[in-house]
Amino acid sequence: MLRTILKYGLIAGLVVGGFELVTFVAFSGMPPLKYGMVIGYTTMLIALSAVFVGIKRHRDVDRGGVIGFWPALGVGLGVSFIAGIFYVAAWEAVQAMTHMDFATSYANAIIASEKAKGASAEALAKLSTDMDAFKVQYANPMYRLPMTFAEIFPVGVLVSLVSAGLLRNSRFLPARRG
């Protein structure tokens, strides 16, 4: 089981980390907010398809075509955890390579978005204060690293739950015999 988790976690991590690096290099920094989230979460789902494949392989090869929900979920969460570590490492690499000030770019984009929606001067002032506090927090790796991990891991949990639920049924995509 550990070997499967490591193998498919590595695959998922390289995919999500590679896409992250390519995206930020292609955009020469942070992509526009509306595209960045779509690109980011689509990439996560593509990479985390390795969760499904890893659980299926473990079921079909290592466990004779049968797996319970909890062992399947364990494999999925292990793969997701490793992918999350790679995601965090890639994010730190992107920031180091591009010298990007993500917190400031993000804060400016949020403020501009609220201003475009017609937010009051009072609301914008409060938002600006909140964003200044966010920038201070984000500069601390003890805040930034878990925050980055929390972007991908819940997606991995969801993919793991769905995959474990489907693959616990040995008739769902049964192993090929022959």
pLDDT for 140-170, tens place per residue? 999 999 999 999 999 999 999 999 999 999 9
Short-list 151, 150, 139, 137, CA closest to 101: 139
Phi-psi region of 106 (alpha: psi -120 to 50; beta: other; left: phi over 0): alpha
Is residue 51 within 8 A of residue 76, CB to CB? The reply is: yes
| Amino acid sitting at position 72 | A
Query: Model pTM?
Result: 0.90
Q: Residue 8 has which token pair?
A: 């498919």
pLDDT band (50, 70, 90) for residue 178: low
pLDDT band (50, 70, 90) for residue 37: confident
Is residue 17 within 8 A of residue 82, CB to CB? The reply is: no
Q: Residue 67 has which token pair?
A: 């797996």
- Burial category of 98 from C-beta neighbours within 10 Å (exposed 0-12, middle 13-18, buried 19 and up): middle
Give pLDDT, residue 33: 74
In percent, the amount of the chain with pLDDT more than 70 equals 99
pLDDT band (50, 70, 90) for residue 123: very high
Helix axes 69-98, 49-57, angle to 10 degrees: 140
Lowest mean pLDDT among 18-32, 114-128, 158-172: 18-32
Residues 130, 136, 139: CA angle, nearest 5 degrees? 135
pLDDT band (50, 70, 90) for residue 25: confident
d(CA 21, CA 4): 25
d(CA 76, CA 162): 10
Q: Note the helical H segments in 27-140.
A: 33-47, 49-57, 69-98, 102-116, 121-138
**pLDDT tens-digit readout, 67-114:** 999 999 999 999 999 999 999 999 999 888 888 898 998 899 899 999
Give pLDDT, residue 100: 85
Average model confidence (pLDDT) across the chain: 93
More confident of the two residues 106 and 136: 136
Buried b (16+ CB within 10 A) or exposed e, 10-35: ebbbebbbebbbebbeeeeebbeeee
